[in-house]
């Protein structure tokens, strides 16, 4: 049996979503001329004065979807360059990345699945499209804190609402029309506290479908690369190692619930020891403290923390298995479970793009695993019936047409 498992230390870098921004938060960062120049460049790409919005704009202004989202993504990306001035520094330390909602674009660009410029174009259009979709119907979001999970979900469903963000036990966000939210407020779940959120609409619900269509159109023109780190997806907590799939999931997520609870389950399966949150930090590390006991966290809020943040990365850093053979392609496990090898793939010399190599059976479901790019089989790294971890390499392939 092939045995695989991370031991020792694992660092996960996370990027926050909309709502993490506060007036003036970018001020200290812009004192660094290099940071300021990079923010100006990304702002130019996005067509937004990010420096102004991050320093002088008031809370109501930066709450606007079309402003908040580019501001968050740009800040995370430029701060990552401050934290890891040389990409190899990150490759040698980061075990996985994840982003909450729009933070997935930060994570995707940080993992090199897309470029920073592509991320800024996508987030610019994402913010605009979501704002336009929110203007069609009066919708909103309400945090449901506490209460029995099953009872909370039943109450949300009863009123036709969507559990748009599932951030773990005791933290579910309901989203839908204002009438539906009012009905929930009149009949709340037992022992639960309801807090209306100051957002423009019901994000991550069917009300955002027009925005999905707009982003899907743009995404077809985006060139992608396989990420350099495992990317943990909001959709289902799966580890993704195909650039096209990373982007497709980000697009679909606009109208689908954010399953941060499942992302944290995957972090636990990866045996994470440290979570570092990019600025404006605090939200995701706070959730991690409540749900991932024993895992150290670091909320990077200001540039004077950079040296301590680098020490944190040194303490918890472990290179990604994805970087071990960069000239080859790896097909990796999307999650934790038992891998069952496909009979046809077992004896194949070449795998066609999209060929099934097996399936992963977990306690939640059974997932088909495919070789999206195809290629010549160099080495199977697991056997039929092996227990595998999220992101574990399953088979090593030479790209089609590559050297033998």
The residue among 334, 349, 339 whose CA lies nearest residue 398 is 349
- Cβ of 198: how many Cβ atoms within 10 Å? 10
CB-based contacts of 372, cutoff 8 Å, min separation 6: 242, 244, 245, 353, 354
d(CA 279, CA 273): 20
Confirm whether 373 is a catalytic residue. Answer: no
Q: Which of 53, 100, 101, 207 is catalytic?
A: 101
Q: Which of 53, 100, 204, 373 is catalytic?
A: 204
The residue among 142, 202, 144 whose CA lies nearest residue 172 is 144
Confirm whether 207 is a catalytic residue. Answer: no
d(CA 115, CA 117): 5
Q: How far is CA 394 from CA 12, 33, 259, 324, in A?
A: 21, 44, 25, 14
CB-based contacts of 140, cutoff 8 Å, min separation 6: 175, 176, 178, 181, 196, 197, 199, 201, 202
d(CA 49, CA 61): 12
Mind telling me the catalytic residues? 101, 204
């Amino acid at each position: 049996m092939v045995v695989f498992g991370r031991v020792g230390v694992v660092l996960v870098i996370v990027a926050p979503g909309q709502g993490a921004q506060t007036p003036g938060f970018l001020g200290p960062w812009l004192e660094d001329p290099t940071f300021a120049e990079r923010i100006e460049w990304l702002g130019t790409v996005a067509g937004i004065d990010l420096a102004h919005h991050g320093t002088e704009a008031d809370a109501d202004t930066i709450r606007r979807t079309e402003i908040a989202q580019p501001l968050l993504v740009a800040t995370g990306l430029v701060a990552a360059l401050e934290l890891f001035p040389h990409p190899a520094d990150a490759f040698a330390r980061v075990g996985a990345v994840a982003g909450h909602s729009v933070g997935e674009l930060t994570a995707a660009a940080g993992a090199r699945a897309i470029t920073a410029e592509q991320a800024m174009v996508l987030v610019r259009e994402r913010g605009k499209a979501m704002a336009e979709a929110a203007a069609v119907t009066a919708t909103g979001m309400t945090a449901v804190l506490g209460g029995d999970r099953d009872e909370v979900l039943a109450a949300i469903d009863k009123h036709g609402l969507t559990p748009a963000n599932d951030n773990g036990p005791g933290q579910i966000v309901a989203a839908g029309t204002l009438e539906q939210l009012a009905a929930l407020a009149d009949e709340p779940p037992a022992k639960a506290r309801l807090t209306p959120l100051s957002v423009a609409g019901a994000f991550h619900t069917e009300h955002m479908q027009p925005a999905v269509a707009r982003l899907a159109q743009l995404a077809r023109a985006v060139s992608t690369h396989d990420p350099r780190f495992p990317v943990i997806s909001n959709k289902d907590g799966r580890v993704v190692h195909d650039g096209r799939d990373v982007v497709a999931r980000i697009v679909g997520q606009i109208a689908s619930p954010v399953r941060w609870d499942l992302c944290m389950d995957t972090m636990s399966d990866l045996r994470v020891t440290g979570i570092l949150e990019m600025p404006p930090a605090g939200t995701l590390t706070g959730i991690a403290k409540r749900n991932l006991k024993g895992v150290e966290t670091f909320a990077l809020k200001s540039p004077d923390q950079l040296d301590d943040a680098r020490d944190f990365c040194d303490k918890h850093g472990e290179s990604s298995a994805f970087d071990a053979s960069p000239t080859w392609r790896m097909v990796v496990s999307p999650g934790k479970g038992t891998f069952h090898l496909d009979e046809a793939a077992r004896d194949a010399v070449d795998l066609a793009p999209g060929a099934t190599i097996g399936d992963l059976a977990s306690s939640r479901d059974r997932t088909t695993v495919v070789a999206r790019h195809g290629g010549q089989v160099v080495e199977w790294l697991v056997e039929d019936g092996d227990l595998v971890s999220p992101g574990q390499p399953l088979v090593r392939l030479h790209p089609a047409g590559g050297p033998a």
